[in-house]
Amino acid sequence: MPELPEVETVRRGLQPVLEGARITAVRLGRADLRLPFPPGFARRLAGCRIDALGRRAKYLLADLDSGEVLVMHLGMSGSFRIEAEAVGIFHHPRNRDPAHDHVVFELASGARVTYNDPRRFGLMTLVPRAELESHRLFAGLGPEPLGNAFSAATLAEAARNRTTSLKALLLDQHVIAGLGNIYVCEALHRAGLSPLNAAATLATASGAPNAAATRLAGAVREVLTEAIAAGGSSIADHARPDGSLGYFQHAFRVYDREGEPCPRPRCRGIVRREVQAGRSTFFCPACQRPSR
């Protein structure tokens, strides 16, 4: 599943083409993705101008001049490619198999934006702008980890008296929006914290953030910022809208590196893989020792 850096990379790739563009037509290759398209989906989009292209957690949000928001989720294998008449638009698609081209946006500029999704776990829907925050997809989402509302204090408040694991806390979208398995593993290693620790170890008895919470909040911001700058992680199905691959996976410290030496200077540990709640967790048992 693409995580926050992958989705933000896609947003930045689409932004120059979509923001300010007017949709002249929408062609649907089928009636649904993971869920059916809303009634009149193509008709409601035709003629609309996209005023802004944003992101909330792992969702892309296209603000329309009709007052609705086009909400898009990439699912497991979704991607966009951009084709245009003008020079300088992206020209290197990841997948041109028309059998998996499920949504095609024709723009007044002459550009064509195609959504391709072999597994069809993606999602597209339309939500009135005034109802977006209360919509079932967004109600209760935690703060954006790169936004001003996220801090060591918010981590400690969410962790106070929680007996769940530290990794489970970070994966909870009600606590932090957009984090996934890859970047949780990476952030915990940078902070020197065991994913097996109890979440409550981030807070003092009074609920204030301790040194671990401060390190972890900084590590989350750092690893996400670096991944976005590197173009996301092109593991499995993800690629950028121009068809090129991100390269952050080459900088992973622990994720998918079971059995390799820990890259932390002077640490002699070996990266271990354990399964937590059905998902692989990668960490160094030497420099990420569980709290006692």
> Which of 2, 5, 145, 241 is labelled catalytic?
2
Residue 8 catalytic?
no
> Is 119 marked as a binding-site residue?
yes
Q: Is residue 190 part of an annotated ligand binding site?
A: no
What's the pLDDT score for residue 174?
A: 95
Instruction: Out of 55, 58, 81, 253, pick the active-site residue.
Output: 58
Per-run averaged pLDDT (10 residues), the chain, 292 residues: 85 93 97 95 98 97 98 90 50 56 95 91 97 96 96 96 94 95 96 97 94 98 91 54 58 93 97 94 97 76
Residue 93's pLDDT is 38
User: What is the phi/psi pair of residue 243, to 5°?
Assistant: 90, -10
The yes-or-no answer on residue 2 being catalytic is yes
The vertex-23 CA angle with 41 and 231, nearest 5°, equals 95
Q: Is 226 a catalytic residue?
A: no
Q: What does the pLDDT read at residue 242?
A: 61
Which domains does the chain possess?
4-134 (3.20.190.10), 152-283 (1.10.8.50)
Catalytic hit among 143, 279, 289, 290: 279
Is 3 marked active-site? yes
For the record, the structure tokens of 27 come out as 């062609």
